[in-house]
Amino acid sequence: MNYFIEIRTISKAKSDIDNIVREMGFYNLAPIKKKNNMLSRFTTKIYGVFRILTMLKQDDVLFLQYPMKKFYKIACYFAHWKGAKVVTLIHDLGAFRRHKLTPAQENRRLSQTDFIIVHNEKMKEHLLLHNCRSQLYCLGIFDYLSQTTPKTYRTPHQPWSVVFAAGLGKYRSGFLYQLDPYIHNWTLAIYGKGFEQEYAKDWKHIVYHGYLDTEDFVAQIEADFGLVWDGDAIDECSGDWGGYLKVNNPHKTSFYLKSGLPVIVWSQAAMAPFVLEHGIGICVESLADLDKVLSELAKEDYQTMKENAIKMGKMLGEGYFIKQALGEAFRIFAENKK
């Protein structure tokens, strides 16, 4: 039997994974409560963890999403005490960006699971460097569930149209407030909260469109590319947010692809090899290079990227990547029993 612990959260990435594993037949150890406040989530989590002792049996599988804060270690301990295996999907590494743990502390915690689903090869290398002892598997990209059908036009805009949707404050997206002078042969539409308009009075190529709900964005957006960039610099993704892209798969990438948009990513980002391998976008060293890259992009090549992005969006909407990862975990567990 396969189990998971659902904790209500505002994180779409975690909620989507919960929904996918439930559809796969995993049993939820945490009761569903009408209330969704801090106390309710806390008691639900405790109840779910202690149900491991009464529900799990030898060779069962417990699926956890990390970070799980205070209860991760005890959940792993209880599952192993009952003879079950633990599969963990990593969303964020606390030691890398928030620095709440040292890499050694985090790896000791993560090594208590049997099979870890990491984002990509860079995250895998990071964990191995710090002596993580668990079996590691690269997810590739986060799935993205949506009931909305995106617009599927193929003809690119003239000039090229790029969209950026995120928190727009300078603390998170400082590069935006330096970008306009570097734009000549393309336009940028920005969506989100926290926009600091006093710094944008002289912008000519960037237009703020306010905030759109994610489903409305998927349904309405007409652009050629989605921009995946973080930090306070044009020439690289810098700072804590930007530097994290070197090991992290941003959920924003999946969001754009589900919207039918090829992506523009930093060439040093951990997502870059996946983007190139699947032909779903372009990689640039610096946003200052984007004018030249787009001016040299043939319409035929773009149309191929667009079609690939639409196909990828459908795969994300079916939970393809987490299903592949869990299938590999089950295969390895079965082999180890022989």
Q: Is the pLDDT of residue 327 over 60?
A: yes
Considering the domain architecture, whether residues 51 and 135 belong to the same structural domain is answered as yes
Structural domain contains residue 149: no
Q: What is the pLDDT of residue 10?
A: 76
151 within a domain of the structure (yes/no): no
Q: What's the CA gap between 227 and 282, in Å, rounded?
A: 10
* Average pLDDT rounded to a whole number, residues 173-202: 94
Which range is most confident: 45-54, 96-105, 152-161, 237-246?
45-54
Residue 37 placed within a domain: yes
3-state SS class at 88: strand
**43-63 pLDDT, tens digit each:** 777 888 899 999 999 999 999
Classify burial at 210, counting beta carbons within 10 Å of its beta carbon; exposed 0-12, middle 13-18, buried 19 or more.
exposed
Phi, psi of 27, deg, nearest 5: -95, 130
The number of folded domains in the chain is 2
Kindly list the distances between the CA atom of residue 129 and the CA atoms of 91, 284, 315, in Å, as whole numbers in the listed order. 19, 27, 32
Residue-wise pLDDT for 313-323, tens only, equals 999 999 999 99
Judgement on whether residues 303 and 324 belong to the same structural domain of the protein: no
129 and 174 fall within a common domain: no
pLDDT for 84 equals: 97
* pLDDT exceeds 70 at position 32: no
Provide the residue type at 211 as one letter.
Answer: Y
Is the pLDDT at 88 greater than 60? The verdict is: yes
For residue 34, is pLDDT > 60?
A: no
Mean pLDDT of 265-280: 97
Lowest mean pLDDT among 28-32, 64-68, 160-164: 28-32
Determine the Cα–Cα distance for residues 256 and 177; give it in Å rounded to an integer: 22
DSSP for residue 150: P
Residues 95, 105 contacting (CB under 8 angstroms): yes
What secondary structure does DSSP assign to 109-145, as a single string? Answer: HHTTSSEEEESSHHHHHHHHHTT--SEEEE--S----
In a shared domain, residues 223 and 327: no
The CATH number linked to 56 is 3.40.50.2000
For the cut 80, the answer to whether the pLDDT of residue 31 exceeds it is no
Bond preceding residue 67 cis, omega within 30 of 0 = yes
Task: Answer whether residue 143 shows pLDDT above 70.
Answer: yes
**Per-residue confidence (pLDDT) for residue 151, from 0 to 100:** 77
- 155 part of a folded domain: no
- pLDDT category of residue 30 using cuts at 50, 70 and 90: confident
Contact predicate 111/133, CB 8 Å: yes
311 lies in the same domain as 213: yes
% of the chain surpassing 70 pLDDT: 96
pLDDT score of 37: 66
Looking at the fold, whether 115 and 164 belong to one and the same domain comes out as: no
Q: Are residues 274 and 126 in the same domain?
A: no
Position 38 scores a pLDDT of 67
Tell me the CA distances in angstroms from 276 to 49, 132, 163, 279, 324, one per residue in order: 41, 28, 20, 5, 20
The verdict on residue 193 lying in a domain is yes
pLDDT confidence of residue 1 = 95
Assess if residue 217 is contained within a domain. Answer: yes
At 41 the pLDDT is: 67
| Same domain flag for 271 and 227 | yes
Give the gyration radius of the chain's Cα atoms: 21
Residues in the chain: 338
Residue 287: pLDDT over 90 = yes
Question: In terms of domains, do 80 and 136 share one?
Answer: yes
In the block, tokens 């567990």 appear at 333
Asked if residue 71 is part of any domain, the answer here is: yes
* Extended beta strands in the chain, E state: 2-4, 27-28, 61-66, 85-90, 115-118, 135-138, 160-165, 186-191, 206-208, 225-228, 263-266, 281-284
Kindly state whether residues 179 and 39 are assigned to the same domain.
no
HEC letters along 4-37 = ECCCCCCCHHHHHHHHHHHHCCCEECCCCCCCCC
Beta bridge partners of 223: none
Mean residue pLDDT of the chain comes to: 91
Q: How far apart are CA 30 and CA 46, in angstroms?
A: 8
Residue 249, beta-bridge partner list: none
φ/ψ (deg, to 5) at 225: -145, 155
Residues 166 and 309 in one domain: yes
Structure tokens, 92: 């964020």
Same domain for 255 and 272: yes
Whether 276 is covered by a domain: the verdict is yes
Instruction: Please give the residue range of the domain that contains residue 230.
Output: 160-317
